[in-house]
Structure formats: structure tokens, C-alpha cells
Amino acid sequence: MIAYSQYNPVRLADVPYWDFETDVAIIGFGATGASAAIEARQAGARTILFERSSGSGGASALSGGEIYIGGGTDAQKAAGFDDNVADFTAYLKLAQGPCVDDAKCELYGREALNHYQWLKNQGVPYRGNYLPGKVIEPIDDSTLIWSGSETAAPFYTKAKPAPRGHVIQHMGWGGGRPLVDILEARARDLGTQIELDARAVALIVDGKSIAGAVVRIDNTYKFVRAHKGVVLATGGFVFNEAMRRKYCPDSFRVKNPIGDKDDGIGIELGVSVGGDAIHMDQFFTTCPWTIPADQAHGVFVNVAGQRFINEDCYHGRVSRCAIDQPGGKVYLLLDSANFSQPFDLAGITIAGTGETWEEVEAELEMPAGTLSATMAVYNEHALEGRDPLFDKQPPILKPLDQSPFVALELNFETSFFSIFTLGGLKTSVDAEVLDRSGAPIPGLYAAGRCTSGLPAWGHGYSSGLSLADCTFFGRQAGRNVAMT
Amino acid sequence: MIAYSQYNPVRLADVPYWDFETDVAIIGFGATGASAAIEARQAGARTILFERSSGSGGASALSGGEIYIGGGTDAQKAAGFDDNVADFTAYLKLAQGPCVDDAKCELYGREALNHYQWLKNQGVPYRGNYLPGKVIEPIDDSTLIWSGSETAAPFYTKAKPAPRGHVIQHMGWGGGRPLVDILEARARDLGTQIELDARAVALIVDGKSIAGAVVRIDNTYKFVRAHKGVVLATGGFVFNEAMRRKYCPDSFRVKNPIGDKDDGIGIELGVSVGGDAIHMDQFFTTCPWTIPADQAHGVFVNVAGQRFINEDCYHGRVSRCAIDQPGGKVYLLLDSANFSQPFDLAGITIAGTGETWEEVEAELEMPAGTLSATMAVYNEHALEGRDPLFDKQPPILKPLDQSPFVALELNFETSFFSIFTLGGLKTSVDAEVLDRSGAPIPGLYAAGRCTSGLPAWGHGYSSGLSLADCTFFGRQAGRNVAMT
């Protein structure tokens, strides 16, 4: 028996027979694959969805079900936010930083309102209300939250802020599972054939075109003919240590991969036929330091007692910048007006306390005049409502002057810094997988975290960008492969 | 006529005729290619070296001709340094940081003394003396200099320091040209056939093996049969903007690519046949801020008035950390005891002066209590010979307390920050190009900056690592391809 373990493509002429024949084969059944299936079926293409696990979900189902949508939604308007395509698009570009894909930002910027309507049309419920404050996910069933760095420097100076995190109506955390359930039901209703416990191991090539895939089911290789093409929707590679070592070694600074055993197979399959994997060094991380909410008023310092970020940024941006700091840990400084017991899950500990910042400094064994000078400068200006160093904004900007004071420790080894990868296949706005010259590989599409998409840059991540990317470009993949 | 512009491999069966037949084809005639040719010829293999330009050189010839060699050389011993393989190897690993390739460090750690002898055997002259101090390249014809971060934290705490930059005997800067000239003469003497103005455009594959290459000479495609294999020795990709945008976008923070139009073709050719390109986000940068030498005693702060590095590190490590700072510039603080006019080429300007650090702070428009507090803490401890924040070591550690004071500006846009890329093909210690599963691609070898080699990590670069990698692993490539 042939071993397909290295993801080497199989030539069409070498395929002995077909176990499945279809127009479209989709690999992976998270939000990306489900969205692709819905569109492919609506375009009339026979569609089979192959999923490695015993059910749908992937990393999407482990998420909060939040989708980054702007440009003037009903929920934004009802809450009095006058968002528009230009500011929304500008923010998307800023959030991609040096990894920016202008065309993807512009397309999604223009189409997000239609995409929101599409989500509703599939049956995704939105309560429609706005939940103010700095929350990671709603603990009730609210729709609209601030989920990025919109109001923080430098973003607010270049794009008018608006909240854009749109969360499925679902009580509490974990809206990703019901979101995928709804998309799955829709895909099934539309006649998608679904094959579970089916692991893709190779693509089948006809010259330069993709003609199908080899999948393993019950320890047997099965040959799938996909007359129109294949959609890769397999997620990132955070659980593949060998890939991380080669392409994203800085991600080992933190310890908590999240996802559904994301092993990078879609990236490997795409590259095996000439696809281009880009920005493979980029990753998301966050430690939930804004829980309880008062902690959001804290000031971060590194082991040298220096601030390094305007702490009103998105918690993930702050966390990503935190792990750039030397010394393996950072401190979150709080006063008694803003302290309560840290969130258990976060693994955040109390490293020092004091009646003055000088006492905290001494307890942390920092040289005199370091942390205390930092806090003197911070408090002096915070009282005036400004932060000349990092441009942190009110109301998050508050002096920390109510003793006693405390320094919480976020330790890169022992605190809960979740992580997932952002690099992947380079795709067009039509979700075509591109080769290294920029040309589409005929018959091969991809979306979600096996691609470099809307959340391309770890330092610019905002909640909801990944599911926006998965669902919107998943749809692009499904529609475009069906129209091949 | 077929267009080979996208580096797509050509099947052996599709080659119409042979313009060249050889055992070994080497692509690129810098130090890597020349070293490979010498070994291939000495092993008895017919060898043709194809070079895009009209002469040898590449980026190697634009370098200082410095090679990182340790373990106890004659020059080290004569200068009283008791270096050994263990400390040398440990330093090599530290210098690769998260990108470490243990096997390459261990092999080169063991073999560097033999490699030094080999260089001498080829005719590379070494005066044999030691030039103390913190120099970028000798301005005389000295042999041994400090060329890395050996004496600086954290390196000195984990590997006993020794100077290891071994420079060809050559008056002044620019030893790279005579180094390549010597290797070229040797390669020619040994009977290497050299084809200039010959640009490689594709590899020729026989199943999974590399059977030759297509080169363009006088606007005509020429077919090269290489019975034993092909060696890629083409350098990095710093002059290929499209590649940098996709794989190394942070490199655009600075503006001065150096090299010989390094376009990444070797990486593209390797990947076109299944090679694995790794650590593509890594790059070297430096701004020559240690010229004049007294400036090495300066203290760096970012725009928030914060120190960020022990400034006794290698100038390139300091520079690489500098461009991680926000605000597009950093300041090098000096007192009158350590100031002289900055090196013209560096584009370093005077941004502020003052009789006190408070005055400098004000002139730089930093909030009161930022830079001045930084310098108060620094000077207090420097007087005691220590740096509790960054562990900078004497004698570079000196208080800056002789007024007037000055702040020099290193601007990422306008100062001269040179840059070249470090990412490239993943290769074995035998210089075999590896595919994504880690298996060698039969008949394909590579070395130098088209690979991820000894200088794998931008933050750990030390002068001489790249030429050590080029010459040593170039030799590995030449010897191993010849013995295929």
C-alpha cells in the first residue's frame, strides 16, 4: 500500500479508482468549511465535506462565536455609533500591520454588512443590543462589544472608533459551538454530504490543476474526485510542534495552544502543490488580564520597571507586546481602588504589595527609582487625563494612587497565555490558493487559519477577526470553487 | 520558447539537449560557491560554477572577510584566550536563539579549527595578532577581534567569552574581496569551469532527484546536466521586495539593503522542488554607532526615555533591538568625556544637548522624570560598576556624568541601518536541502544565505557568522555532492 504520510501530491493517472466523486471537496468542518459548503451547494455544486474528527467544530466551536463586522450594522446604529466603510476598512488595515493585505481588507470592508445579513439569513441570531465596557466575551447574550484596539493609540488617530465585535445570541461564553451548529445544519439542509473521521492526506493533481484528494477513513485510503476543486479549511498549526519550531519559534515563549489539535495539514497540502505560505512567524496570544474588569485600569511594567504599551489596547495586543519583554514575566500594577482577586484560570499571582510604589518596587527587587519613577510620571499625567508616553486614553487611563498597591505577575511559563498561529497559505480575495509567483493554483481554494487572512499580524489581533475571515472567505471559497 | 521565469522545475524528459554536462553544477560564485567548487574538484568531480554577474564576489566580496572561528586558534592562544569547543559551541547556540539548529552548531563547533587550517591551506593569510577593543572591522591588517556579544549578558553567563572574529590579513576594511579572490583562484587552479553572466532559472528533475539546471546565457536558455547534483549558493533575498513583503515585512522598518542584488533565487529554486524555507522572518541589521569608538560607552533610550538593552552587546544586536522600539527612532546618550563627531556614513544626528540630563530630556520633549530618571539610576549603579537592569559590564559600563550631555538620534528612516536576510532553505549538516518532512532532496545541496544557517537569528547575529557558514557549509555541499 502506498504511504501518503508526507502529503506528497498524487498524480491523477496514478489513482486506481474513485471512492467518492463530487464537484467540490471541502477539507475541514469548522466555520470555514461549513460556510464554504453552504455557498457551494447554493451554487448547485455537488459537495462533500471531509472532517478528521467525529463531528463538526474545529477551533471555531471552541471560540466565542464573535465576528468582527463594521460599516454601520443595526446594532452599531441602535447604540449610536456612526461607523462607516472607510473607517472600518482603515482599522482592518492597521490591524494587519506590516502583514497587510490591502485587497482583502477593502473587500471585507465593503462587504461586511452583506455578510452580516447572510449570517442572519443562515439563522444566526443576534439580540441586537450593545454591551458597553471592556469585556472579553459577553457573559449574557448581548450582541455588540468592543473587541479590538479601536479607541486606543495609534488606531483611534487613524480610524474613527466603533465597537465591531458581533456575538451570536447565546447566554454566556462559548458562542462558537452554536454558531457552527447553525452553519452545519444549514449545510446539511442544503444537501452537503458529510464524511466524518476522514483525514485528508494528499491532494490529487492533474498537471497543474487540483483534481481531488486522498483521505484516510478506517485506516484505508479513499480517493476523492473533485471535478471543480478542493477547499482547504483545516485551521492553523499551533499543535504541530515541528512546524512551529521551523516557522514560528517565538511562539514557544508561551505555553497554552488553543484549538482543535490544529496540525497545519492544510498548509502542508497547499504547499505540496506549489502554494505559498506567508507570515508563518505570526501568532496570537492573550492572557485574560482584564478579568475582573477593574484590572483593565492597571499599568503594565516589565522587569526593568518600564511601561511598554498603552494598556487600553485590546487585551491580546497588550499580551503580545508583554511577551516581547525580557525576563520571562511582566507585572500588572494596581491600586486598592482597582484590585480584586485575579481570575483563577489566568494563573496570575500576586508578586508584591506596598503602601507606596517605592515599597512595591523594593518588594519586586527592582532598583530604587525605576518602577517608582514610572508610576510617578504615570500618575502625574493621569491626573491631568493624559499619557504623554503611550497615549493611553480615559476612561481606562486613571491614576493609581489609592494605597495599598499591588503588583500582579503574568508569567510567560505559568500564567495562562493562550496561543494560536496566524500564518498560512497566501490566497486571493476569491480564496484561490496562490503559488509563489502569485498565480492561482487551478482548483485549489482555502480560507480560515490555514491561510494568512484578516488576522494576519499578532500585534494587531482583535477578537472576531478570525471568525470574520473564516466565514467570509470560506464563503468566497465555496462560491468560487462551485463556479469554476 | 519556453519561459522559465517562475522557477518551475523542468522534467528531465522535457530537456531537448544538453549545453553543459558535468558532475556538479554550482549556482553562485561568492565565498559559498567557491568553497563548494574547491571541495568538489578535490573530490574529483567535474564541476561547473554558474554566476549571474560578470565576476565572482556576491555579497561575500562586499563583506569584511571576517570568519567566526573558535575553540582555541593560534591567534586566540597567542593573545592569551583559552577558548574551547564547549564554550564556542554554547555561544553558537545562544546566537541562534529560538531558531537554533543544534546539529549545525555542534558540527561547526567541533570542526572550526580544521576549517581555519583549511582556509590557510587555500592561501588565506592571517597575521595572527589580536586587536583589542570594540571594533567593527580592523582598520589595519589584524587577525583577531571581538565580533559578537561574547562578553555581554546573557551570553557571558552561559559561555566563557573569547574573541572569535578572524579577519583575513588585509589593510583596512573590505577583506571580503581578497578572500573571495583567493578562493576563486584556488577553484580555478583546481580546474573548476566557470561560466559568468549565467543566470539560473530552473532546476531539472528526474522524478524526485535533481538532475541539473536551466541557466540563461546571452538571453538563451542553456541546459545543464549535473550527474551528481546541484549546489545552490546564491545568497539571501534582501533585494527582492516581493519576497520581503511576504516573509519578512518587519525588515522594512529600515532602509538600506546590503548585498549583491540578492534576489532569493536559490530559495525559490529550492522550494520549487519541495525544499523547505524556514525562519524567513529573520534579518540582520546594524547602524555603525560604535564609530567613533568612544560612542560604545553610550546609553541607548527609546522615545519614552527607557533603556532597552545592555549596550555592551554586539552593535548589530543592539541595533536589532533598537528597531524593535516604538517611535521610529532611538537615542544614543553620551557625555562630553565620550563624545566626538558621529561617523558621517551612519546618518546619526544630534537631537538634543544640555548641561544636565533634565535639560536633554526637555530638549527631546520627553516628560520630566523619564530620561532623567533613567540616567540617574544608570549613573548611580555605573559608579559602583554594575547595571542591575540590563547587566552591562565594565569597561563599557561607565557613568555618563561629565556635562555637557548629548543625545544622538538613530532614525530608522534616515540613519544608515544596513540590512540583509537570514531565512532560507532548511539544510542538513551535510548541506543537503531538506523537504518539509525532513528528508533530503536527492542531488540538491545549498549553503550560505540562501539557507538558514549559523546566523539564523537576527537578535543574535555576530560578525563572521555568515562567512563561517558560507565557507564551512559551502565546503560540506561541495564535498557531499561530489561523493554522491
Q: A367 and B389: CB-CB below 8 Å?
A: yes
Domain ranges, ordered by start, for chain B: 1-284+420-484, 288-411
Q: B271 and A436: CB-CB below 8 Å?
A: yes
Each residue's pLDDT tens digit, B239-295: 999 999 999 999 999 999 999 999 999 999 999 999 999 999 999 999 999 999 999
Measure the CA–CA gap between A39 and A42, rounded to whole angstroms: 5
Q: A370 and B381: CB-CB below 8 Å?
A: no
Q: B6 and A369: CB-CB below 8 Å?
A: no
Q: Which of B436, B437, B459 to mutate to test the interface with A (most CBs of A within 10 A)?
A: B436
Each residue's pLDDT tens digit, A401-420: 999 999 999 999 999 999 99
Each residue's pLDDT tens digit, A197-210: 999 999 999 999 99
**Which residues of chain B make contact with A252, given a CB cutoff of 8 A?**
98
3-state helix, strand, coil in chain A (%, to 5): 35, 20, 45
Determine contact, residues A336/A405, Cβ cutoff 8 Å: yes
Q: B389 and A377: CB-CB below 8 Å?
A: no
User: B231 phi and psi, to 5 degrees?
Assistant: -110, 125
**Which residues of chain A make contact with B271, given a CB cutoff of 8 A?**
436
B328 and chain A in contact, CB less than 8 A: no
Determine the residue of chain A that is closest to B280 in CA distance. Answer: A247
User: B151 phi and psi, to 5 degrees?
Assistant: -90, 0
CB-count burial class (<10 Å; 0-12, 13-18, 19+) for A77: exposed
Level-2 CATH architecture, domain B1-284+420-484: 3-Layer(bba) Sandwich (3.50)
B150 and chain A in contact, CB less than 8 A: no
| pLDDT at B435 exceeding the cut of 80 | yes
What's the pLDDT at B397? Answer: 97
Kindly report the CA angle at B441 between B438 and B447, in degrees rounded to 5? 85
Kindly report the CA angle at B102 between B101 and B104, in degrees rounded to 5? 70
Determine the residue of chain A that is closest to B425 in CA distance. Answer: A246
Q: B304 and A369: CB-CB below 8 Å?
A: no
Q: Among residues of chain A, what percentage have pLDDT more than 90?
A: 95
For A389, the closest of B7, B247, B304 (CB atoms) is B304
Give A134's pLDDT tier (boundaries 50, 70, 90): confident
User: DSSP letters of B146-210?
Assistant: --SSTTSTTHHHHS-----EEE-S-SSS-THHHHHHHHHHHHHHTT-EEE-SEEEEEEEEETTEE
B276 and chain A in contact, CB less than 8 A: yes
Determine the residue of chain A that is closest to B96 in CA distance. Answer: A249
Cα dihedral angle (A248, A253, A258, A263), rounded to 10 degrees?
A: 30
Each residue's pLDDT tens digit, B87-112: 999 999 999 999 999 999 999 999 99
Neighbours of A220 (CB within 10 A): 9
What's the pLDDT at B2? Answer: 53
Kindly report the CA angle at B263 between B257 and B268, in degrees rounded to 5? 140
**Which residues of chain A make contact with B368, given a CB cutoff of 8 A?**
377
- Strands of the A418-421 sheet, one edge to the other: A256-257, A418-421, A283-286
Domain at A1-287+420-484: CATH code: 3.50.50.60
| pLDDT at B1 exceeding the cut of 50 | no
Measure the CA–CA gap between A320 and A88, rounded to whole angstroms: 23
Q: Which of A269, A389, A412 to mutate to test the interface with B (most CBs of B within 10 A)?
A: A389
| pLDDT at A2 exceeding the cut of 80 | no
For B373, the closest of A99, A373, A436 (CB atoms) is A373
**Among all chains, which residue has been given the C-alpha cell 561575500?**
B60
What's the pLDDT at A476? Answer: 98
What's the pLDDT at A4? Answer: 58
Q: Which of A104, A377, A433, A452 to mutate to test the interface with B (most CBs of B within 10 A)?
A: A377
Cα distances (Å, whole numbers) of residue B395 to B136, B308, B387: 17, 19, 12
Q: Which fold has domain B288-411?
A: Flavocytochrome C3; Chain A, domain 1 (3.90.700)
| pLDDT at A1 exceeding the cut of 70 | no
Each residue's pLDDT tens digit, A143-174: 999 999 999 999 999 999 999 999 999 998 89
Query: Which distant-in-sequence residues (6+ apart) come within 8 Å of B59 by Cβ?
Result: B30, B235, B236, B258, B259, B260, B262, B420, B449
A205: DSSP letter: E
Determine the residue of chain B that is closest to A390 in CA distance. Answer: B304
Fill in the amino acid letter for B326. Answer: P
Residue B243's closest CA among B421, B402, B83, B59?
Answer: B421
| Closest CA of chain B from A272, distance in Å | 7
Determine contact, residues B294/B340, Cβ cutoff 8 Å: yes
Measure the CA–CA gap between A349 and A415, rounded to whole angstroms: 8
Alpha helices in A144-297 (DSSP H): 155-158, 176-189, 241-247, 265-272
Q: Which three cell numbers stand for residue A416?
A: 495562562
**Which residues of chain A make contact with B380, given a CB cutoff of 8 A?**
369
Strands B165-167 and B20-27: unpaired
User: DSSP letters of B458-473?
Assistant: GGG--TTHHHHHHHHH
CB burial string B84-104: b at 16+ within 10 A, e below: ebebbbbbbbbbbbbbbbeeb
Strands A220-232 and A209-217: antiparallel
Measure the CA–CA gap between A229 and A28, rounded to whole angstroms: 14
Q: B439 and A6: CB-CB below 8 Å?
A: yes
Helix, strand, or coil here: A50? strand
A281 and chain B in contact, CB less than 8 A: yes
Q: B380 and A369: CB-CB below 8 Å?
A: yes
Helix, strand, or coil here: B366? coil
Q: B276 and A246: CB-CB below 8 Å?
A: yes
- CB hemisphere CA count around A436 (13 angstroms): 24
Q: B246 and A276: CB-CB below 8 Å?
A: yes
Fill in the amino acid letter for A464. Answer: G
B435 and chain A in contact, CB less than 8 A: yes
**Which residues of chain A make contact with B97, given a CB cutoff of 8 A?**
249
Cα distances (Å, whole numbers) of residue B147 to A225, B67, B135: 58, 9, 8
Query: What's the 3-state SS for B382-428?
Result: HHCCCCCCCCCCCCCCCCCCCCCEEEEEEECCCCCCEEEECCEECEC
**Which residues of chain B make contact with A380, given a CB cutoff of 8 A?**
369
**Which residues of chain A make contact with B436, given a CB cutoff of 8 A?**
6-7, 268, 271-272
What's the pLDDT at A63? Answer: 94
**Which residues of chain B make contact with A271, given a CB cutoff of 8 A?**
436
The H or E element that residue A209 is part of is: strand A209-217
| Closest CA of chain A from B6, distance in Å | 6
B367: DSSP letter: P
Q: A377 and B367: CB-CB below 8 Å?
A: yes
Q: Which three cell numbers stand for residue A22?
A: 463530487
Each residue's pLDDT tens digit, B205-222: 999 999 999 999 999 999
A350 and chain B in contact, CB less than 8 A: no
Radius of gyration, CA atoms only, chain B: 23
For A250, the closest of B5, B98, B436 (CB atoms) is B98
| Closest CA of chain A from B369, distance in Å | 6
Q: B389 and A376: CB-CB below 8 Å?
A: no
B437 and chain A in contact, CB less than 8 A: yes
What's the pLDDT at A135? Answer: 84
Q: B250 and A98: CB-CB below 8 Å?
A: yes
Measure the CA–CA gap between B453 and A270, rounded to whole angstroms: 26
The arithmetic mean of pLDDT across residues B352-356, rounded, is 98
Q: Establish whether this prediction's ipTM goes over 0.90.
A: yes
| Closest CA of chain A from B367, distance in Å | 7
Measure the CA–CA gap between A369 and A305, rounded to whole angstroms: 9
**Which residues of chain A make contact with B241, given a CB cutoff of 8 A?**
none
| Closest CA of chain A from B471, distance in Å | 24
Each residue's pLDDT tens digit, A224-276: 999 999 999 999 999 999 999 999 999 999 999 999 999 999 999 999 999 99
A293 and chain B in contact, CB less than 8 A: no
Q: Which three cell numbers stand for residue A138?
A: 459577553
Measure the CA–CA gap between A223 and B40, rounded to whole angstroms: 45
Determine contact, residues B65/B95, Cβ cutoff 8 Å: no
What's the pLDDT at A5? Answer: 59
Average pLDDT along chain B: 96
| pLDDT at B5 exceeding the cut of 80 | no
A426 and chain B in contact, CB less than 8 A: yes
What's the pLDDT at A3? Answer: 56
Each residue's pLDDT tens digit, A66-120: 999 999 999 999 999 999 999 999 999 999 999 999 999 999 999 999 999 999 9
For A247, the closest of B272, B278, B304 (CB atoms) is B278
Measure the CA–CA gap between B24 and B7, rounded to whole angstroms: 20
Cα four-point dihedral sign B302, B304, B305, B307:
negative
Each residue's pLDDT tens digit, B23-47: 999 999 999 999 999 999 999 999 9
For B98, the closest of A252, A276, A307 (CB atoms) is A252
The arithmetic mean of pLDDT across residues A442-447, rounded, is 98
Q: A436 and B6: CB-CB below 8 Å?
A: yes
Q: Which residues pair with B22 in a beta bridge?
A: B226
| Closest CA of chain A from B410, distance in Å | 19
Determine contact, residues A407/A349, Cβ cutoff 8 Å: no
Determine contact, residues B443/B430, Cβ cutoff 8 Å: no
Cα distances (Å, whole numbers) of residue B152 to A479, B105, B149: 57, 20, 5
Alpha helices in B101-153 (DSSP H): 102-122
Q: Which three cell numbers stand for residue A166?
A: 458581533
Residue B265's closest CA among B337, B325, B313, B215?
Answer: B215
**Among all chains, which residue has been given the C-alpha cell 511594567?**
A301
**Which residues of chain B make contact with A377, given a CB cutoff of 8 A?**
367-370, 373
Same topology, domains B1-284+420-484 and B288-411? Answer is no
